[in-house]
Amino acid sequence: MNVREPADQLGYFQKRQKEIVETIRQLVELESPSDVKQSVDRVGTVLASRFSELGGKIKFHPAEKFGKHLQIDFRPRGNKIKPVLLLGHMDTVYPIGTISKMPCRVSKGRVWGPGVLDMKAGIALALHVIEAMLEWNNGKLTRPVTLLLVSDEEVGSASSRAITEKLAGDAAAVLVLEPAYGLHGAVKTARKGVGEYTLQVTGVAAHSGLDFEKGQNAVIELAHQVLEISKLVDPKSGVTLNVGKISGGTRVNVVPATAKATIDVRVASAKDGTEIDRKLRALKPFNPHCSVSISGKMNRPPLERTDAVAGLYLKARDLAQGLGWDLAEAAVGGGSDGNFTASLGIPTLDGLGAVGEGAHAEHESVVISELPRRAALLAGLIQMV
């Protein structure tokens, strides 16, 4: 089979759709919540064996609390081109046992199950794409490829971030296997930066009947602060602050001495991230007898639509056009590990994984008929970037 042309490559993957679905099923049935190390490690072991069958060089990066991060290198001998970094994660948001309530099944043209879209299907695509490219080129890739599958993406990537950044620094481009946006399968060329902060208020406790005047109510102070924080929201420039949780006080008849709030921050630009950080740290108590302190930080810088990102998107759009479809781009609020690599200035394209619906929800599913197109697009990009 001649598979030089994108259309031939698409045909190749259409013939292998069933195999791709089988791999997805195998991965979904291995549950892998971020906080259960041994379960994520089991996924890593299975994937290591499948990729080493293809000739990939396996390296596990130890992680204390999380599963080992899995790095797989394909280094065709004598090929000096910079590698492409394929970026994914093995962990999911679903606790062990979810699979019995939402079993992996194929129906209505989709594969369903916990973590199927985000992002077991993305990993399966990478596996079958590498397998195909080896087959097309006599067992040797046309360029070096590194695949990094981390185990803590759903909980902020603290233990894998340095590895991601190191490998991205060596790469020509980063292709992120996160799900596409929407059922039309748009890729993601902008993602918001994400931060989490905790505001702690300290007042003075007192008996609410005997010593009411001696008390300094931390809950009231917190209420003022929450309103102040909500003034920083600016939807037009993509800045949101969500006071998602508050707590305070001990008993109804005690003037509360402590109260706290946790705040989720999203920004579209790094500049706004710095600005919001500064404003949160500058919060002053309304009641001079209370004190406020803020902890936390911006955890993920935004993935901004830089020229490098846009350039990669245009290549992908041309490729898709050759395959007969219009590949749209989207800006989204959620962060991914692509945020880290794009903010280093490495050309990054996100949302190259599967097309589907319901990430992190009961109806999480992947559209099967879209899989061959996604595989052909990924294969094309690996060859050309």
By three-state DSSP, how is residue 273 classified?
helix
Instruction: For the CB of residue 188, give the shortest distance to Zn ion in the complex, in Å.
Output: 11
Do strands 348-349 and 173-176 pair parallel, antiparallel, or not at all (unpaired)?
parallel
Segment 220-279, which members bind Zn ion (CB under 5 A)?
none
Nearest-CB residue for Zn ion: 118
Residues 51 and 144 sit within 8 Å (Cβ to Cβ):
no
Residues 373 and 10 sit within 8 Å (Cβ to Cβ):
yes
Other Cβ atoms within 10 Å of 98 Cβ, number = 17
The site map against Zn ion for 176-215 (x = CB under 5 A) is --x-------------------------------------
Token pair in block for residue 378:
């990924």
* Nearer of residues 16 and 191 to Zn ion, judged by Cβ: 191
* Nearer of residues 165 and 228 to Zn ion, judged by Cβ: 165
By three-state DSSP, how is residue 172 classified?
coil
Instruction: For the CB of residue 93, give the shortest distance to Zn ion in the complex, in Å.
Output: 9
Instruction: For the CB of residue 351, give the shortest distance to Zn ion in the complex, in Å.
Output: 10
The piece of 116-124, 159-167, 213-221, 265-273 that touches Zn ion (CB under 5 A) is: 116-124
* Nearer of residues 118 and 370 to Zn ion, judged by Cβ: 118
Token pair in block for residue 45:
């072991």
Give ∠ CA 118-316-84 in degrees, rounded to 5. Answer: 70
Residues 43 and 150 sit within 8 Å (Cβ to Cβ):
no
Instruction: For the CB of residue 122, give the shortest distance to Zn ion in the complex, in Å.
Output: 8
Instruction: Please name which of 71, 146, 117 lies closest in space to residue 364, comparing C-alpha atoms.
Output: 117
- Indicate whether 118 belongs to the interface with Zn ion (CB under 5 A): yes
Task: Indicate the residue type of 270.
Answer: A
Residue with tokens 């064996």: 49
* Nearer of residues 154 and 277 to Zn ion, judged by Cβ: 154
Do strands 240-248 and 193-202 pair parallel, antiparallel, or not at all (unpaired)?
unpaired
Instruction: For the CB of residue 115, give the shortest distance to Zn ion in the complex, in Å.
Output: 9
Task: Find how far residue 226's CA is from the centre of its chain.
Answer: 28
Instruction: For the CB of residue 12, give the shortest distance to Zn ion in the complex, in Å.
Output: 27
Number of residues that bind Zn ion (CB under 5 A): 3
Instruction: For the CB of residue 311, give the shortest distance to Zn ion in the complex, in Å.
Output: 24
* Nearer of residues 272 and 350 to Zn ion, judged by Cβ: 350
- Indicate whether 119 belongs to the interface with Zn ion (CB under 5 A): yes
- Indicate whether 40 belongs to the interface with Zn ion (CB under 5 A): no
SS3 content of the chain, % helix, strand, coil (to 5): 40, 25, 35
* Nearer of residues 93 and 219 to Zn ion, judged by Cβ: 93
* Nearer of residues 127 and 239 to Zn ion, judged by Cβ: 127
In the sheet that holds 84-89, the strands lie side by side as 57-61, 69-74, 145-150, 84-89, 173-176, 348-349
Instruction: For the CB of residue 178, give the shortest distance to Zn ion in the complex, in Å.
Output: 5
* Nearer of residues 31 and 118 to Zn ion, judged by Cβ: 118
The piece of 95-103, 115-123, 155-163, 186-194 that touches Zn ion (CB under 5 A) is: 115-123
Tally the residues of the chain: 385
The piece of 111-119, 123-131, 197-205, 371-379 that touches Zn ion (CB under 5 A) is: 111-119
Instruction: For the CB of residue 154, give the shortest distance to Zn ion in the complex, in Å.
Output: 7
Q: In terms of C-beta density within 10 A (0-12 exposed, 13-18 middle, 19 or more buried), how is residue 49 classed?
A: exposed
* Nearer of residues 37 and 120 to Zn ion, judged by Cβ: 120
The piece of 11-19, 48-56, 119-127, 347-355 that touches Zn ion (CB under 5 A) is: 119-127
Do strands 258-267 and 240-248 pair parallel, antiparallel, or not at all (unpaired)?
antiparallel
Instruction: For the CB of residue 336, give the shortest distance to Zn ion in the complex, in Å.
Output: 6
The piece of 36-44, 78-86, 118-126, 360-368 that touches Zn ion (CB under 5 A) is: 118-126
Instruction: Please name which of 325, 347, 4 lies closest in space to residue 169, comparing C-alpha atoms.
Output: 347
Rule CB under 5 A: which residues touch Zn ion? Answer: 118-119, 178
